[in-house]
Structures are given as C-alpha cells and as structure tokens.
Structure 1
Amino acid sequence: MAPVKNGRLVFNEIPTGLPEPGKTTVYDESQTIDLESVPLNGGILVKTLVLSIDPYLRGRMRDASIKSYSPAFTIGEPLSNYGVGLVLRSEHASFKAGDHVYGSHPFQQYFVAAPADAEKLTVLKNEEGLQWSVYVGVCGMPGQTAHHAWREYSQAKPGETVFVTAGAGPVGATVIQIAKQQGLKVIASAGSEEKVAFIKSLGADVAFNYKTERTRDVLARAGPIDIYWDNVGGETLEAAIDAAAVGARFIECGMISAYNGEEPYHVKNLMLIVGKQLKISGFIVMWLHEKHLAHFYETFPLLVKEGKIKYTEDATHGLERAGHAIVDVQTGRNKGKSVIIVSEDAGPARL
C-alpha cells in the first residue's frame, strides 16, 4: 500500500488570550504514513476515529516551565486528548486488529502507540452498541468526572438543593440527572435560552440564563444550597458561598471564567467558609479512577442506552476544524459535548 497523508493539528505558539486557529494551532498534512510497513516495535497502529474537545485543553497551552496537573503541549507537536481509535495492526498481546481503544490520542489521523503507551489504553467492549463518540463524552472523561466526584464528595440526601453551573455542558448535564435521580432539587445555569431549555428538559427545577439574570438573585430566591457543583469560579463562586447552607459541600470541578487571561475575580466573602462550615473539595478525575471507574463502566453505558442518562453532542467533522472547536468550547458557542469526527470509518480494520 502506498503511503497516505497523516494530518495533524500542531501546537504552534502559546496564546495570551483565546487560542487562535491558524496561529495557536495549525493543521498540517505534510507527513505521510505507510500503514502496512510502519514499524510497531511491539506496539499498535491506531486510526483515530473521534477526539474530545474539553475546556482544560486551554490550560495545556502554556509554557512547559509552568507546572500543573496536566502536561503542557509541546510546540511543534500535535495536541493530545481523550479519543477513540481503531486498531489497524498490533504486535501487543493485549490488542488485536479491529479493537476499539479509548484513552489519550494525539490529534492526528494515524499513530503508533509504543507498548507502554498502548497499555494505558482501554479496549471498549461497547456491548450496548453506542456510537463511538459517546465514549469521549457521557461514557468517557466528562461522564466519569460527574460520576466519580458526585459519589466521592456530594454526600447527597433526598430533598437537598444543588446548584450546578455550566449545566448544559457534558459534565453539568450529567450532574443534573444524577442529582434528580437521587431526589434533589436542582438549580442550574447556562448561557443561552436554548441551553436553558435543554437543562429544563433534564429535570432542573430552576433553570436560568446567567447572562440575563443575576446568579445572586436567583440563588436568593431558590436557595439556600446544600451542594454547589462549580465549573465557573469567580463571581459565581462568591454568590454560591453567600447562598450556601451551613455544612454545604462545594465540588470544585473547573473555573472557566479564568482560563483565557481574564482579569482574576477576587472572591470577597471567603470568611463565610469558616462561619458556614463549608466543605470545599477540588479534584482531578483520574485520581478517583481506582475507587470509582469500575462502577462507572458497569452502570453508565447501560443507563445511556436505556435513555436514563441523556446527552447532546456538538460534532465537528474533520481534524482541520478542531482549532475552531477549541475556541467554541472556551466561549460557550458549542451546543452539547464537543467532539471531532476524524474518520467516519468505525468498522473493522481492512488493510
């Protein structure tokens, strides 16, 4: 077989604000790959099918000297994130051609995973017959984030009230549904009327557009809150502290209000954490896998198949459009879980 193009989305330079497609990230088709003869050296050859676009990717677009929980992208190399791929060839005993694998994928059409990297990938059984993109959304890292942290930190009891920010996003939407199934009252916010309608359809008792209604006013009417799921930080966190009941649990998942170089908002009521005896838990999802991942895979794919956990998806077709999708997620223009469909071919390997 003749070599084929191996398109990549390359990290080109560190942004100072929002990432800019064509500047921060550049799509490159200069490389080729011979799918029949490329050396595997004990690893596997993978065809990328779908990639996840998540808010935290912005944090990886930094100088490598700045330490964080996730590694910085390397200038001149492809971005990477969670994806699903199809194994085309294998020299590793744990994988065979035709397997679908989930885990960290470079933003390129084909890649060889060395043995140590291959061992970090999960073979997806998908006995429920879900579309593969679901496994980077509600049945992937975003769903795991909601599932793991809720089980670990919420201490939820029927009749309590939870406030969920970014409620139309893949994590927030899943939290809303988990909370409703456990008998909680749910207050949820989103950034457009269309997104508000979606979170209402998930069962949110109080759903509002934070761009047209003040969060503080809504919480004053609908609170106090016993649990706060924070995807936003900043002034919204301050409003949640004001509205918190004594002993409320704050689950700190993300703070997108500070991801793109905005002037930091200084929360002014931190002393209330003491007076209200708040429990504030920050977390990184992979650190909770050992305790909760088995339960997640035992339950979530079936719940999705049965329609008990609903989701929306914003699919972008073509790796060359991934840079634009990254910006859409940072600015809230996406409608549902943002995924990049790299290849429509999700069938068995045929070389």
Structure 2
Amino acid sequence: MAPIKNGRLLFNDVPTGYPEPGKTTVYDESQTIDLDGVSLNGGVLVKILVISIDPYLRGKMRKPDPSNKSYSATFALGEPIANFGVGVVLRSENAKAKPGDHLYGTYPFQDYAVLPNVDQLLLLKNEEKLPWAAYVGAIGMPGQTAWTGWKEYAAPEKGDVVFVTAASGPVGAFVVQLAKLQGLKVIASAGTDEKVAFVKSIGADVAFNYKTTSTSEVLHREGPINIYWDNVGGESLDAALANAANGARFLECGMISQYNATPYTLMNLMAIVRNALHLHGVLVMQLLPKYRDEFYREVPGMVARGEIKYIEDAKRGLEWAGHAISDVQQGKNHGKSVIIVNEE
C-alpha cells in the first residue's frame, strides 16, 4: 500500500491566555505513513478512533520550568499533544494485542500511531456494545475521576447536602448522579441555561446558572453544604467555604476559572479552621489503582442501563481538535468534548 496522510495536531506556542487554534496548536498534514510497511519494533500499529478533550490539557501548555511544578509534564513544542483515547489495532508484534483489539490509553493526536509498548494500554471488552467515545468520558478518565474521588474522600452520610460546580461537564454530571443514587440533596451550578436544564434532568435538586444567579445566595438558602465537589475554584470555592457545614469535605478536582486568568484571592480561608473542614486534592492517577477493577466491573453496566447518563460534544476530524480545546477552556462545549479521529 502506498503511504497515506497521517494528520497530527502539534503544540506550536505557549499561550498567555486561552489557547488559540492555529497558533497554540497547529494541524499538520505533512507526515505520511505506510500502514503495511512501517516498522513496529515489537509493538503495535493503531488507528486512533477517538481522543478526549479535557480541561487539564491547558496546564500542559506551559514552558518547561523546574520551579513551576505540576502533576503532569509539559507538551513538547513542535510535537503532537497527547491525551486519553481509544484505538483499534491494525498490526501487532506483541502477544498482548491482536489486530481488531480496541485499546484505551494515552495517544498522540494523530490518525495512526506505532506504539512500542502496550503495557500501559487497557484492552476494552465492551460487552455492553457502547460507543467507543463513552470510553473516554463516563467510562474513561472523567468517570474514573468522579468515581475514585467520591469513593475515597466524600464519606457521604444520610441527609448530606452536596454542591457540584461545572455540573454539566463529564466529571460534574457523574458526581451529581452518584450523589443522587445515594439519596443526597444536590445543589449544582453550570454556565448556561441549557446546561442547567441538563443538570436538572439528571436529578439535581437545585440547579442554577452561576453567571446570572449569586452562588453565595443559593448556598446560604439551600445549605449549609457537607460535600463540595470543585471543578471551578475562584468565587465558587470562596462561596462554598463561607457556607460549609462543620466537618464538610471539599474535593478539589479542578479550578478552570483560574487556568487562563489572574488568580482569585480567597476571602473565606478561615472557614477551614473555624469549621474543621477536610480538603482533598483529587488526582485520578493516584487513586485509580485502588479502584480500577471495581470501576470497570460496575460502571459500563451502569451507563448501559441508564443509571449514569451523559451528553457528548463531538467534533469530527483532528483539524478541529484545537478549536475543541479552546471551547472547553471557555465553557463553550455542552457535554463531554471528544474528537472522532477515524471511523472503525
């Protein structure tokens, strides 16, 4: 077979604010690949089907600086960015994967990839016959984040009140539904009326648009809160601190309001001491080994049965990945943002 195009999304420039498609990232079609002849070196050739777009990618778009430590490494300038995805094996020289197998793990943003080591990839059985994109959303890293963080830190009790920010997103929506499955009262915020409607549809008792309604007033009226799942930081975190019950658990998962803006000064930090609050940073890669088997045993069936619902914001083609990254940072997506790279 003659070489074919192997499109890629390259990290081109460190952004100072929101990532800009065509500047921060550049779609490149200059590379080709011979699917029959490319050397595998004991690995596998994968056609990438779907790749996840997540808020944390912004943190990887920074200059390498030993003084600026983070839980994830920087992207390399001039190289494809990477994130969680699902691919199908086309050729294999590894006994752990055969042609036709579907593998979940970290992939470069390109059409095809030769992976020398499949040990870090998960073979997906997909007995429920769910769309592959579900495996980068509710059954992927966002779902894993919600499941493991909730199991490890929430310590829910009967009568607890839960507050979830960015509640229409893939992590927040999963948390809302976990809390409702346990019979808890859920307060949830989102950034548009359309997103608020979705959050109500999955069971939130109180859902509001934080851009048009005061978070502090809602929490003062509906709280105090016992569990806070934070995807936003900033003013929402400050309001949660001011309206927390004694001994409340704060699960700090993300702070997207701060990723592209001037840091917000918190005014209610003394509440941590006054109300003996418990603050936990939620990092899925630290928690997943403990809960991985349980997650894949329970969650695919829950999604298939409709116990965990999700919505998806899909763009087709790697050329749109830069736009999707920008949309997620600005909250323009509605549902789990994914790139459909190739059809089966």
Q: Secondary structure, in 3 states, of the residue corresponding to 1:211?
A: coil
Check if 1:240 corresponds to 2:240.
yes
Match of 1:230, as an amino acid? D
8 Å contact from structure 1 (residues 167, 190) kept in 2:
yes
Q: Distance in 2 between matches of 1:284 and 1:70?
A: 10
Structure 2 counterparts to residues 1-351 of structure 1, below 5 A:
1-65=1-65, 66-115=68-117, 118-260=118-260, 262-345=261-344
Deviations 1:305-335 (A, max 9, x none): 0011000000001100000000110011101
1:219-276 C-alpha deviation (Å, 9 max, x unpaired): 011000000000011111110011000000000000001101x111111111110110
Confirm or deny: 8 A CA contact 1:164 1:176 kept in the other structure: yes
- Give, in angstroms, the shift of residue 68 of structure 1: 1.1
Alpha-carbon distance between aligned partners in 1 of 2:237 and 2:288, rounded to the nearest angstrom: 27
How many residues end up aligned between the 2 structures? Answer: 342
Instruction: State the distance in 2 between where 1:290 and 1:58 align.
Output: 25
Query: Does structure 2 retain, via aligned residues, the 8 Å contact 1:52–1:136?
Result: yes
Output the CA distance in 1 between the equivalents of 2:295 and 2:172.
17
Q: CA deviation at 1:344?
A: 1.6
Deviation at 1:88, TM superposition (A): 0.4
Structure 1: runs of 5+ lacking an equivalent: 346-351
Aligned mates of 1:291, 1:214 — CA distance in 2: 38
Q: Matched residues in 2 for 1:317 and 1:184: separation?
A: 38
Distance in 2 between the 1:64 and 1:231 partners? 25
Opposite residue 173 of structure 1, the aligned amino acid is A
> 2: distance between equivalents of 1:67 and 1:27?
28
In the aligned structure 1, how far is the partner of 2:142 from the partner of 2:101?
A: 23
Shift of 1:22: 0.5
Q: CA deviation at 1:289?
A: 1.1
User: SS of 1:57's equivalent?
Assistant: helix
Residue type of the partner of 2:149?
Answer: A
Contact 2:145/2:282, CA 8 A, preserved across alignment = no
- Kept in 2, the 8 Å contact 1:51–1:340? The answer is yes
Give me the whole-angstrom Cα distance separating, in 1, the residues matched to 2:119 and 2:242: 46
How far apart in 2 are the matches of 1:89 and 1:114?
A: 12
The residue type paired with residue 85 of structure 1 is G
Contact 1:157 / 1:183 at 8 angstroms: preserved in 2?
no
Secondary structure class of the residue paired with 2:107: strand
- String of CA shifts for 1:267-310, please: whole Å, max 9, x gaps: 11111101100000002101101111111000000000001100
Indicate conservation of the 8 Å contact 2:161/2:225, yes or no.
Answer: yes
Equivalent position of 1:349 in the other structure: none
Report the residue type matching 2:306 in the other structure.
Answer: G
- Please, which moves more after superposition, 305-314 or 63-72? 63-72
Distance 2:133 2:253 in 1: 22
How far apart are 1:67 and its partner, in Å?
Answer: 2.5
Residue 27 of structure 1: SS of its match in structure 2? strand
Output the amino acid matched with 1:72. T
TM-score (norm 1): 0.97
TM-score under structure 2 length normalisation: 0.99
Question: Which deviates further from its counterpart, 65-74 or 89-98?
Answer: 65-74
Residue 201 of structure 1: how far off its partner (Å): 0.3
Runs of 4+ in 1 over 4 A off after TM superposition: none
Distance 1:158 1:110 in 2: 49
Tell me the SS of whatever aligns to 1:162: strand
What code does the residue aligned with 1:344 have? E
> Which amino acid in structure 2 is aligned with residue 87 of structure 1?
V
Which whole-Å CA distance do the structure 2 matches of 1:272 and 1:339 have between them? 38
Structure 1 CA distance, aligned partners of 2:276 and 2:147? 25
- Equivalent pair of 2:85/2:104 in contact (CA under 8 Å): yes
